């Protein structure tokens, strides 16, 4: 009989990071649901929970995929930071909008940031130096949006937040560059 254990290596063992990660994902969905039981004025509906479950599930799956496809710790960390940056851009834009309100058309430009990161990740299979450059470009694009539309435009606070969040893309770029340099040295 195959017994499943928790933590540590070995067959049938579930790593503790996996339990913590998916447990946190489940809690982030269940907490607002539980809060609604005590305060129905929160105004969340079933489709809100379905959407949150899908987005958080995709984020978790991307983390799992990063762990599966990478052995280098710098590459993993870069992937984790990039996933966090992408999640925050996507989620904050849908929730309240990064510049102004969610109805502000400037927020559509953040789709370009995500597109740069996604295409860069896809093209990175062709050459290891593409990923650091793509994350650098995503961060720089996000920073430019924050500066032009936020700080010098209509929403100073949103612009500052956008510029601050762009540092996540740059940190990811740095981590991927270190991983690429280590791999090049090993080859």
> Cα separation of 147 and 166, whole Å?
11
- 63 and 100 belong to one structural domain: no
Task: Residue 173: give the domain boundaries.
Answer: 72-187
pLDDT at 84 over 60: yes
Top mean pLDDT of 71-80, 92-101, 149-158 is at 71-80
> Cα separation of 27 and 33, whole Å?
10
Query: Which of 11, 41, 69 is where one domain is finished?
Result: 69
CB 100 within 8 A of CB 108: no
Q: What is the pTM of this model?
A: 0.87
The structural domain count of the chain equals 2
As a whole number, mean pLDDT of residues 38-51 equals 86
Query: Which of 69, 99, 124 is where one domain is finished?
Result: 69
- 45 and 119 belong to one structural domain: no
- 132 and 162 belong to one structural domain: yes
Q: Report the sign of the C-alpha dihedral through residues 129, 130, 134, 135, in that order.
A: negative
As a whole number, mean pLDDT of residues 154-181 equals 93
């Amino acid at each position: 009989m195959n017994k499943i254990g928790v933590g540590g290596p070995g067959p049938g063992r579930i790593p503790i990071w996996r339990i913590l990660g998916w447990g946190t994902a489940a809690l982030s969905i269940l907490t607002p649901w539980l809060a609604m039981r005590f305060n129905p004025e929160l105004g969340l509906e079933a489709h809100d929970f379905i959407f949150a479950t899908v987005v958080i599930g995709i984020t978790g799956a991307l983390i799992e995929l990063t762990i599966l496809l990478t052995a280098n710790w710098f590459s993993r960390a870069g992937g984790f930071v990039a996933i966090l940056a992408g999640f925050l851009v996507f989620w904050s834009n849908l929730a309240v909008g990064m510049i102004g309100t969610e109805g502000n058309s400037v927020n559509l430009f953040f789709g370009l940031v995500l597109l740069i990161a996604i295409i860069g990740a896809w093209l990175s299979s062709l050459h290891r130096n593409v990923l650091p450059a793509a994350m650098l470009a995503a961060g720089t694009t996000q920073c430019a949006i924050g500066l032009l539309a936020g700080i010098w435009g209509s929403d100073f606070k949103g612009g500052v937040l956008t510029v601050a969040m762009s540092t996540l893309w740059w940190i990811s770029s740095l981590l991927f560059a270190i991983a690429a340099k280590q791999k090049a040295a090993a080859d």
